[in-house]
Amino acid sequence: MPFVTSEKMLLDARRGGYAVGAFNAENMEMVKAIIAAAEELRAPVMIQTTSSTIKYGSVETYAAIVSAEAMKASVPVCLHLDHGSSFGLAVRCVMAGYTSVMMDGSKLPFEENIAVSRQVAEMAAAVGIPCEAELGKVGGKEDEVEAVADTNTDPAEAKEFVERTGISSLAVAIGTAHGFYVGTPVLDVERLSEIRKAVDVPLVLHGASGLTDEQVQGCVKRGICKVNFATELRNAYTRAVERYLLDNPNTIDPKAYSKAAMAAVTELVKARMKVCGCDGKME
């Protein structure tokens, strides 16, 4: 089927008490692997690219790849800009065919974050595209996005932020971090429940790579409707290539080790979809 936006996906997830898995892709192989998992489990799926990934390829390239694969799929596929760094980048993504965008102004002061997030949300809404924004800082580093310290989302600020920006979904900070965790993450789940009571848009969890299944499921029960996975997909892909080349050192055909990497990513995505509870929702 053709691309869909993330709006219905996330509203359905909120009503159904599950979360949509959102998976970052770096190349064609990862896109195919993610969609293969969604097809097998009959799950809706969001494929994401960060600003850094777009610099590696281009918005046009990723939009074309995902569009081509989505047209062959029988489950809904959304292409989302993850951690958008500017209004201009969001415009480029929308023009290229992305069906969801994020403006990450979380490193900015509160009023500046509101201003830029509202600008992107209004632009996207004018053409029927939903917009995610972030309030509070998720720790760690993902591509070029880095937070030195965690600053968890304030529920009262979240309510004001959503009302003044008109965003479609809100990424919250409750103690998660981008990348793999050095220690054991401690999540402020009570704060998540307070945010859920304060706002009326779907909530998003960033930094899920490395959380336990129980932690992710606990967040979904408290209102998370979208869970982002990035670092662990990269790890699965790279480790699979390494293992293949170690066992087959004379291989020179990229298709050979790429198939192994795709299989590893598909299995990981399936596992994460089951944790989010979105498997079987397209039956």
Q: What is the DSSP string of 202-269?
A: -EEE---TT--HHHHHHHHHTTEEEEEE-HHHHHHHHHHHHHHHHH-TT---HHHHHHHHHHHHHHHH
The pLDDT of residue 27: 97
| Per-residue tokens: 23 | 């998976």
Question: Cβ distance 35 to 45 under 8 Å?
Answer: yes
The pLDDT of residue 144: 53
Averaged pLDDT in 10-residue chunks for the chain of 283 residues: 89 97 98 98 98 95 97 97 96 98 95 98 98 79 48 93 98 77 72 96 90 93 96 96 98 98 98 98 88
The pLDDT of residue 137: 63
Residues belonging to the binding site for dihydroxyacetone phosphate are 179, 207-209, 228-231
Question: Rounded to the nearest 5 degrees, what angle is found at the Cα of 165, between the Cα atoms of 130 and 93?
Answer: 35
The pLDDT of residue 175: 84
Quote the CA–CA distance of 204 and 132 in Å, as a whole number. 8
The pLDDT of residue 211: 87
- Choose, from 82, 150, 154, 279, the residue flagged as catalytic: 82
| Per-residue tokens: 47 | 């494929």
Quote the CA–CA distance of 222 and 279 in Å, as a whole number. 19
Quote the CA–CA distance of 228 and 23 in Å, as a whole number. 6
Which residue stretches of 42-144 are H helix? Answer: 51-56, 59-72, 87-96, 110-125
The pLDDT of residue 183: 55
> What residues does each domain of the chain span?
6-276
Question: Cβ distance 265 to 236 under 8 Å?
Answer: yes
- Known catalytic residue: 82? yes
Order of strands, sheet of 145-147, starting from the edge strand that comes earlier in the sequence: 145-147, 139-142, 177-178
Read out DSSP for 153-202?
PPHHHHHHHHHHH--SEEEE-SS-EESS-SS-----HHHHHHHHHH--S-
The pLDDT of residue 148: 42
Question: Cβ distance 76 to 99 under 8 Å?
Answer: no
Q: Which fold has domain 6-276?
A: TIM Barrel (3.20.20)
Residues belonging to the binding site are 83, 104, 134, 178-179, 206-209, 228-231
Q: How far, in whole angstroms, is CA 127 from its chain's centroid?
A: 21
Residue 218 vs residues 19, 181, 190, 227: alpha-carbon distances, Å: 11, 18, 11, 12
Can you tell me whether residue 108 is helix, strand or coil? coil
Residues belonging to the binding site for Zn(2+) are 83, 104, 134, 178, 206
The pLDDT of residue 179: 54
